[in-house]
Amino acid sequence: MMKTKYALFLMLVLPIMLLAANPFSWKVTPNASALMNSRGWRTSQVTNSYYEWDEIIPEMRFNYYYGSNTTALIDSMYIDEWDEDESVWKFAQQKGYTTHTPNGRIAELLSYIDVSGEGDYLPLVKVNFTYNAQNRLTAAVFNFNGIIFGSDEEWIVANGMYYIYGAGTSFHTVNYNGFDDPEYRYTKSEFDFDASGRIIKEYSSYSADSLSWNSNYYRTTYTYHPQDNHTGADLIEFISSMIFEMIMFDQYLLPGMITEEITESWMDDSWYATDKTTYEYDDQFRVTVRNSLYPSGDIWLQFARELYFYGDNGQMSHSINQDAWSGEYENYERTDYVWESYTSANDDYLNPTPSLSLSVYPSPFSQELHISSQSDVKAAFKVGVYNLRGQQVRSLANSMGAEIIWDGKDNQGKDTPTGLYLIRAQQKDQTGFRKVLKVK
């Protein structure tokens, strides 16, 4: 069982660590995605699924937890895995915990894996983050538990991402790639910036020893939307504040509105355009489509695209990846987002919504869930129960603020499936949220 768990862990984590070898293989950041600091909203859950014909099959589910109702700093996460044979979620197969600096940056991520499936957690990955006096990210270092390599060392450095700053908001990166071919043990990205400090060209090189560099690797050119106005300071702040989310979502992104990026690779002593990505925006300047193209002679042909959809709250509800190799678009991956509202303690532009303290028990529950307000306010008590897609499955209320009991059924009187639910309660001007787990 332990061998299987290690194999699963490596399958899940290694792609992230290998991607870290080239952290500036950028994609655009969809506005209001889970990778944005959207005022008043924070990511509660992300579910990754794939398509089998027209059926959506879940794979993994990321549950995010926060220290209080006034922060978007994630302090822990649990990763569930879908058991396709049993058609049930296997809860908390991996767990992660974070610590933060006094300035609100992530300092460390420590992740564990359940090696037995019965709650026997082993620490496997540790990521340490460092910052300079200006609170800019200077390094993110990935460490593996030595036990998985049969080493006596507690932690083995596997990858490192290092940020070196120049004048103003200029910088370049050097990356240590412990799992790459020795010839590519180190990679470096240098940039051209426009007058606003935005990256307009990236030059990548590689080295076996970090001393002698081969610059004939690849280069990428970026073009921005006419309405884009982000600056170099915005870019550095985005990298420094969102590095944890970029690692967790397996995406290293730019904060601006890119319309086109073209990558050239060095082949046969010449530069050849090998990849092109274009982006489409709606009238609110939110990304709606990401198109991936490849060259065929003098023209570009599309082989994939990613579609982005937004909910009534303005945040991303889900995205769908499609391929086009057959000549028609076919769905193959989907990501769903669940959001919860919060009030930033440092946001002078928001009128804080008073937080409602809730008592919810038992959790997990099977038959009945007792929900009560801890407020002294005597007013109507309303409760909404939401599923993983953000859809309300049950609405409950009483007029005197007394305890509400949810019987696990939806508004049509049908039993709801097992899984995680979001409880949203409101009493007068106070609102509270709790997550609960329904089991068999």
Residue-wise pLDDT for 253-263, tens only, equals 677 899 999 99
- Checking if the pLDDT of 156 tops 50, the result is yes
At residue 152, the pLDDT reads 84
At residue 114, the pLDDT reads 85
Cα(11)–Cα(148) distance, integer angstroms: 13
Top pLDDT among 344 and 391 is at 391
Mean pLDDT for 416-429 is 80
| Per-residue pLDDT band at 135 (split at 50, 70, 90) | very high
Mean pLDDT for 76-86 is 90
How many C-beta atoms surround the C-beta of residue 184 within 10 A? 16
Top pLDDT among 214 and 244 is at 214
Cα(353)–Cα(57) distance, integer angstroms: 37
At residue 344, the pLDDT reads 58
Percent of the chain residues past pLDDT 90, beyond the cut: 46
Question: How much is the mean pLDDT over the chain?
Answer: 83
Residue-wise pLDDT for 11-24, tens only, equals 344 444 433 444 44
Provide the residue type at 47 as one letter. Answer: T
Mean pLDDT for 198-203 is 96
At residue 13, the pLDDT reads 47
By CB atoms closer than 10 A (0-12, 13-18, 19+), residue 239 is: buried
Question: Do strands 287-296 and 381-386 pair parallel, antiparallel, or not at all (unpaired)?
Answer: unpaired
Mean pLDDT for 10-37 is 45
- Checking if the pLDDT of 118 tops 80, the result is no
At residue 249, the pLDDT reads 67
Q: Which domains does the chain have, with CATH numbers?
A: 2-341 (no CATH), 358-438 (2.60.40.4070)
At residue 355, the pLDDT reads 56
Residue-wise pLDDT for 100-117, tens only, equals 999 889 999 999 888 777
For residue 312, give the 3-state DSSP assignment.
Answer: coil
Mean pLDDT for 400-411 is 85
At residue 18, the pLDDT reads 39
At residue 390, the pLDDT reads 59
Cα(108)–Cα(98) distance, integer angstroms: 5
At residue 16, the pLDDT reads 43
Phi-psi region of 124 (alpha: psi -120 to 50; beta: other; left: phi over 0): alpha
Residue-wise pLDDT for 246-295, tens only, equals 777 666 667 789 999 999 999 989 999 999 999 999 998 889 999 999 99
First to last CA, the chain: 25
- Among 217-226, 311-320, 431-440, the minimum mean pLDDT is found in 431-440
- Checking if the pLDDT of 432 tops 80, the result is no
- Checking if the pLDDT of 178 tops 80, the result is yes
- Checking if the pLDDT of 412 tops 80, the result is yes
Cα dist from 16 to 200, 206, 409, whole Å: 25, 19, 39
| Per-residue pLDDT band at 61 (split at 50, 70, 90) | very high
At residue 17, the pLDDT reads 43
| pTM of the predicted structure, to 2 decimals | 0.73
Mean pLDDT for 392-398 is 86
- Tokens read off for 209: 């020893």
Top pLDDT among 194 and 392 is at 194
Residue-wise pLDDT for 292-346, tens only, equals 999 998 999 999 999 999 988 888 899 999 998 888 999 999 999 998 887 655 4
At residue 206, the pLDDT reads 95
- Checking if the pLDDT of 378 tops 90, the result is no
Mean pLDDT for 410-419 is 88
Top pLDDT among 134 and 68 is at 134
At residue 417, the pLDDT reads 87
At residue 203, the pLDDT reads 96
H helices of 219-284, in order, are: 232-248
Mean pLDDT for 178-189 is 90
Cα(92)–Cα(115) distance, integer angstroms: 11
| Per-residue pLDDT band at 377 (split at 50, 70, 90) | low
Strands (E), 324-368: 330-341, 358-361
- Checking if the pLDDT of 354 tops 70, the result is no
